[in-house]
Structure 1
Amino acid sequence: MICLLYRAAGPSGGKDEGVRAVTVKPGVANSLSLAEDQPEPAPEEGAVLVEALAVGICGTDHEIIAGDYGEAPPGADRLVIGHESLGRVLEDPSGTLQPGDLVAGIVRHPDPVPCTNCAVGEWDMCRNGQYTEHGIKALPGFARDRWRIEPEFAVQLDPVLAQVGVLLEPTSVVAKAWDHIERIGHRAEWRPQTVLVTGAGPIGLLAALLGTQRGLTVHVLDRATDGPKPELVAGLGATYHAVPVNDLPFEPDVVIECTGAPTVVLDVMCKAAPTGIVCLAGVSSGGRSIDFDAGALNRALVLENNVVFGSVNANRRHWTMAAQALARADQVWLSSLITRRVPVNRYADAYTAGPDDIKVVLEFAS
């Protein structure tokens, strides 16, 4: 269980002991290691000093560990990973937050130019790709005992989320998806009733949660026929399906596609109801060709006024929406999404995927 207490920082904001940090050498496969005696986070990283409670692990982390991508901060050869954070404030000289406040750190920061979108706080819609991201691109991540961040990138959480606040980052992603779905929907009179979510991983399940919070009829499709996924979907009052998309006996008004599987992506675009909206939230790996009738797809999209769009990342507005959604949710259900909690001294186990994993969390405080 995550400790609910916090320790006050010393006069300089530091501690006697060194900082443990999970790091990789970007671009080098299987370079994951736990550094036991790292320096305290530099004040230049931000005014708010935070004691890490936990970090969540997702497919992005596994891809970085595999050497597929990742970028160390300028002048460094290793990257501290971890972008799904939960911590407690130790100090904030700005007075924005108080010691003991529960917080998560926003992952993406705007580019330095800035582009049109980053200039107004919409760094999730960055137009030139020069943004930075904690634990992914040019900013140290949150998988370390203590980290710093500027107040405007720290999101305060309701104390009720002390055990599950680490889910905030993935929830922010689907909060953005729903925000954009609703903005697109209001191009005309819009009264959606049925939602299809494809993929019952953390993103899919959280997308389904936000759908049920909107009072919609939610269906979740996944390949698994046993394990925790069907029960988690039932716990939302949603309906679980383990059949091909084309075998579903309904046409959804809204689809949130979270698998990135090419055949599923194409099938849901064809399955949506007239004036339907399909949000692509899963990322395909590429390198695979599929024969399909592009003309028929074009005809359906045009004649039925359907919309297909992609969505990734989130800005602060979406992080706030996500925090509110999690605070309203059944905390027992949210806890059940976290299928493994692993102490940091067993970090390698946390980054080794298990067959029934939904969300694995690496815990720093105990």
Structure 2
Amino acid sequence: MKAITVEPKKPGTAKLMDIPEPGVHEGSVLVQAVAVGVCGTDVEIVEGKYGWAPPGQKHLVLGHESLGRVIDPGPTSGLKKGDLVVGIVRRPDPVPCPNCAVGEWDMCSNGLYTERGIKEINGYMSEYWRIEPEYAIKVDPTLGLLGVLLEPSSVVAKALEQVGLIGRRSFWEPRTALITGAGPIGLLAALFAKLYGLDVHVLDRAAGGLKVDLVRELGATYHSGSVKDLDFEPDTIIECTGVGQVIAESIQRIGANGIVCLAGIGHGGASPTSSIADVASAAVLRNNVIVGSVNANKRHWYRASQYLARADRGWLTKLITRIEKPENFMKALQRSPDDIKVVIQFSDI
């Protein structure tokens, strides 16, 4: 079968190649790939920045944002042939640490977890893949191709859960949420925050175009420019850019008792003008909390699937701005200014 692979940490090695079909030892559920979403993690692995092949193997099959159709449900999965499913990305470490032992592998404390398409397990960019039943999430069939959005959505579901859990440390009735960054994570965060009933604001660099339109179609408010120029103090901020200046300004702009959730991962850049001490003082004096959130466990995947099922299909469709064939996977990895979510489609829905 065909698969998109890379030799981890070796730039220029990504290719579409023939590999053996997956064996039952990889999971009792056999799935035909429908589509795989492309994100910055895939790009960085192709660029050789990180990634780990399965033990004893040279190549890693890419892809962690999956959507597939069940071909053989196996003996005990509870699925049936034709069901649409996505595969959970992370697997608990074998020790296991206390968090992995209770199913919270997203909070793994020793770093020995594995991840499909990233770390030591082949991903979903192949014509067929297998999965263990407990890591397959059934997708509402009315979502169709939009089910491929479940992986970024699970990350958002966790971030919002973290905010809610921390908020219960005191009396807290959040009304306004600011989302910084209008990429896939930011727009899905805006969608879910609206489903929570919050007054949602989204800030991004774009002055016009599809992102602005999508925010306004949600009934949210769009801002371009700087966080420090906003004329209100949000109760919570979901930071999705990873940009140091935006992070510092968000911490200083959050309202009293507010929560800043860092969901974006940055890689250096210009230093913020505010000193670390000033940023910390702003947080201390106003009882603010700054929390990092990454990955998701099965609970978050389930919640994300419920949120997506409630969402307007027309709006979700606009998030997928480009669909490429597997043989054109390099084009999918090259992001254009108008892209939000790019998808590689392996078979018809």
Q: Same fold (TM over 0.5)?
A: yes
Residue equivalent to 1:122: 104
| Structure 2 Cα separation of the partners of residues 264 and 346 of structure 1 | 35
Equivalent of 1:274 in 256, 265, 268: 256
1:40 maps to 2:25: no
Deviation at 1:287, TM superposition (A): 6.1
Q: Which runs of 5+ in 1 are unaligned?
A: 1-18
Matching residue's letter, 2:125: A
> Which amino acid in 2 is paired with 1:83?
H
- Tell me, in whole angstroms, the C-alpha distance in 2 between the residues paired with 1:113 and 1:147: 26
**Which of 194, 201, 211 is residue 219 of structure 1 equivalent to?**
201
SS at match of 1:165: helix
* Structure 2 match to 1:194: 176
- CA–CA separation in structure 2 for the residues paired with 1:241 and 1:303: 27
Checking the alignment, whether the CA contact within 8 Å between 2:157 and 2:303 is kept in structure 1 is yes
> Corresponding residue for 1:13?
none
Which structure 2 residues correspond to residues 162-241 of structure 1 after superposition, within 5 A? 162-241=144-223
What residue identity is the alignment partner of 1:39?
P
Within 2, Cα distance between the matches of 1:95 and 1:27? 36
CA deviation after TM superposition for structure 1 residue 227, in Å = 2.5
1:141 is aligned to 123
* Selected match of 1:86 from 46, 67, 76: 67
Q: Corresponding residue for 1:301?
A: 283
* Alignment partners' CA distance in 2, 1:196 and 1:132: 33
Which range moves more in the overlay, 312-321 or 86-95?
86-95
Q: Which residue of 2 aligns with 1:53?
A: 34
CA distance in 2, matches of 1:120, 1:201: 32
User: Is contact 2:35–2:145 with CA below 8 Å preserved after alignment?
Assistant: no
Equivalent of 2:5, from 20, 23, 26?
A: 23
Q: Out of 240, 253, 263, which is 2:235 matched to?
A: 253
- 2:88 counterpart residue number: 106
CA deviations over 1:288-323 (Å, ceiling 9, x no partner): 544423333222211211100100000000000000
Deviation at 1:352, TM superposition (A): 1.7
2:340 is matched with which residue?
Answer: 358
1:125-170 CA distances to partner (integer Å, 9 max, x unpaired)? 0000000000000000000000001000000011011120000000
Report the AA paired with residue 123 of structure 1. W
CA distance in 2, matches of 1:236, 1:250: 20
Q: Percent identity?
A: 56
Secondary structure in 2 aligned to 1:265?
helix
Normalising by structure 2, what TM-score? 0.98
Describe the superposition over 1:49-68 as per-residue Cα deviations: whole angstroms up to 9, x where unpaired: 10100000000001001000
Structure 1 residue 325: Cα displacement:
0.3
The one of 315, 323, 328 equivalent to 2:305 is 323
The CA distance in 2 between the partners of 1:258 and 1:314, in whole Å, is: 16
For 2:280 and 2:182, locate their aligned partners in 1 and report how far apart those are by CA, in whole Å: 28
Q: What's the Cα RMSD here?
A: 1.0
- Whole-Å separation in 2 of the counterparts to 1:82 and 1:110: 19
For residues 245-291 of structure 1, the C-alpha deviation after alignment (integer angstroms, 9 at most, x for no partner) is 11111000000000000000100000000000000000110265444
- The separation in 2 between residues aligned to 1:254 and 1:290, in whole angstroms, is 21
Matched letter for residue 49 of structure 2: D
User: Does the residue aligned with 1:246 lie in a helix, a strand or coil?
Assistant: helix
CA distance in 2, matches of 1:129, 1:276: 30
Identify the residue that residue 337 of structure 1 maps to in structure 2: 319
In 1, Cα distance between equivalents of 2:249 and 2:337: 26
* Partner AA of 2:36 in structure 1: V
Residue ranges of structure 2 left out of the alignment (5+ in a row) = none
Residue 163 of structure 1 aligns to a residue in which SS?
Answer: helix
The answer to whether 1:263 aligns with 2:275 is no
1:346 Cα shift?
A: 1.9
Aligned length: 347
Q: Given that residues 36 and 67 in structure 2 are in contact (C-alpha distance below 8 angstroms), is that contact kept between their aligned partners in structure 1? A: yes
Structure 1 residue identity aligned to 2:315:
W
- Provide the residue aligned with 1:97 in structure 2: 79
1:348 paired residue among 321, 330, 349: 330
Match of 1:361, SS state, is strand
The one-letter code matched in structure 2 to 1:76 is: Q
What residue identity is the alignment partner of 1:209?
L
Quote the residue 1:14 is aligned against.
none
Q: How far apart in 2 are the matches of 1:277 and 1:289?
A: 23
- TM-score of the two chains, using structure 1 as the length reference: 0.93
Q: Contact between 2:207 and 2:224, CA under 8 Å: does it hold in 1?
A: yes
| Match of residue 69 from structure 1 | 50
Q: What is the CA deviation profile of residues 305-360 of structure 1, one whole-angstrom value per residue up to 9, with x for unaligned ones? A: 11001000000000000000000000110010000011222222212211210000
Task: Give the equivalent residue in structure 2 for 1:152.
Answer: 134
